[in-house]
Amino acid sequence: MRVLAVEGTAWAASAAVYDDESDPDAAFIETDAYQPESGGIHPREAAEHMSDAVPRVIVTALSEADGPIDAVAFSRGPGLGPCLRTVGTAARALAGSLDVPLVGVNHMVAHLEIGRQQSGFDSPVCLNASGANAHVLGYRNGRYRVLGETMDTGVGNAIDKFTRHIGWSHPGGPKVEEAARDGEYVELPYVVKGMDFSFSGIMSAAKDAYDRGVPVGDVCYSLQENVFAMLTEVAERALSLTGSDELVLGGGVGQNDRLREMLAEMCDQRGADFYAPEPRFLRDNAGMIAVLGAEMARAGDTLPIEASAVNPNFRPDEVAVTWRGDDESVARWRDESDEIRGAEATVTFEADRVVKRRVPKSYRHPELDDRLRRDRTVLEARLTSEARRHGVPTPVVHDVDPAEGTLVFERVGEADLRTELTPDRVADVGRHLAAIHAAGFVHGDPTTRNFRVGESRTYAIDFGLGYYTDDAEDYAMDLHVFGQSLAGTADDADALRRAFEDAYAEASEEHESSGPDVLAQLREIEGRGRYQ
């Protein structure tokens, strides 16, 4: 099947021709990029660029087609509305004039699918790091499930906001990478919430540091070290949650050498395989739209013209994945052994005790790594005991060594919750979270790996990302993290999520705490668009 594809979500007017009987690398791609004179991307100017450039790149791509076109694919979203509409109109006109099927492709799914197909991996965890988005995803039950994502802005856009502040032109990422080469580390915020993350605090701190006279090279170096370490950490957390040993990178920010180096080093340290496509398939391009478009067309996943409207907020977990089978689930964990490798630590089981050692992460800057290991060890010991005082079943803390990142706990439960997901068990989790929220702190990483199940009790463990707070947003993030982990590890995630939320609401009422406000805030979090 020979596919003509058109891409134009924001800045890159691109067209490609791809024959699915050849290697994806063989796709012909023609791109004409929009370059603003100053500042960031202006939607009206970008759309004008699309109107001018799209016809040219299509003509060039068609001239390279070695035979008739069998389908036309286009980037349906997410993206800037005016740009998407220009591309959608061109694709409809092409499909109509050629009398071939029309395929609407999710831009973010195309970013991860090109890496999955080129790598030959079975069912990898996928990290999308692009200008306007950042997600960690895994395939399960007919969809790509969002295991973690940015809570404010995309990683590339966040970096661009800093570079605009200091007067650098778009795109800012390559300029930050160059300036960081001779920089030294200065402390900046580091925000990871389970497998979610936030960039607003670190960007504000970076701007303030520059305004105070910190050398720009030091700020850029530290920005990269923290932001990319956050992305690498959540990718490792997703590998740990799902049991996968394969990671694929997608998105334009993936062209950064330091990010790829961190991800490769993390995967090597835990014995996982890592793949990053060549740069032309990482930045926005029609080649990835063509490759996924061919898969979708073969699966019969095409659009009638009247139902082909673009969607600027098209999330990857809204896409029905028709081209993959249910047996390709990303979640495939093994039986528990005497030693388990988590995302942060090794856990060794003894007869009645558990020894947890936070492993130094060589991909992180040593100063950052030491701080995180020390602070998280102290918090884990403190909040595990605090939760126990408020009636939540947790292991007794026998010993703690912050300098070594080591804790010794009572051994509790027989298995992780993810192996025994039932409505009663997840309702226990809802009640446990309501109790600690009423006590004024959050768990921080309440995934299906961080609860243990025994014959009659469900235990909360691993409070290393917890902290004290009275903010409903923070409590809602706990619920959000648990819901995402259900989506990535459960076959009946929706029913389990309802049981979890019902129990949380009921227990919050008993504690006379703000359960309804927290659930309302959870709905607001879930409704946020990520294309910013």
In this predicted model, what pLDDT tens digit does every residue of 363-389 receive, in sequence order? 999 999 999 999 999 999 999 999 999
pLDDT for the residue 529: 58
- Is 445 considered catalytic here? yes
pLDDT for the residue 532: 40
Give the full edge-to-edge strand order of the sheet including 451-453: 415-416, 451-453, 458-460
Q: Parallel, antiparallel, or unpaired: how do β-strands 71-77 and 2-7 relate?
A: parallel
pTM, rounded to two decimals: 0.94
pLDDT for the residue 337: 62
The amino acid occupying position 177 is E
Report the b/e string of 203-229 with b at 16+ CB within 10 A: bebbbebbeeebebbbbbbbbbbbbbb
- Cα Rg of the chain (Å, integer): 24
Q: Parallel, antiparallel, or unpaired: how do β-strands 192-193 and 143-149 relate?
A: unpaired
pLDDT for the residue 452: 96
In this predicted model, what pLDDT tens digit does every residue of 147-165 receive, in sequence order? 999 999 899 999 999 999 9
Q: List Cβ neighbours of 171 (8 Å cut-off, separation of 6 or more).
A: 131, 156, 160
**DSSP 8-state assignment for residue 405:** T
pLDDT for the residue 37: 66
Three-class DSSP category at 296: helix
Angle at 467 between CA 370 and CA 221, to 5 degrees: 40
Intervals of the chain under pLDDT 50: 531-532
Three-class DSSP category at 168: coil
* Distances in whole angstroms, Cα of residue 251 to Cα of each of 36, 56, 133, 484, 511: 20, 25, 9, 22, 44
- Asked if 35 and 46 count as a contact pair (C-beta separation under 8 A), the reply is no
User: Can you read off the two tokens belonging to residue 399?
Assistant: 């010993």
- Of 32, 445, 462, 478, which one is the catalytic site residue? 445
Q: List Cβ neighbours of 459 (8 Å cut-off, separation of 6 or more).
A: 393, 394, 395, 412, 413, 451, 452, 453
The domains located in the chain, with CATH, are 2-113+281-317 (3.30.420.40), 120-279 (3.30.420.40), 339-410 (3.30.200.20), 415-526 (1.10.510.10)
Task: Report CA torsion sign: 194, 200, 203, 208.
Answer: negative
pLDDT for the residue 39: 62
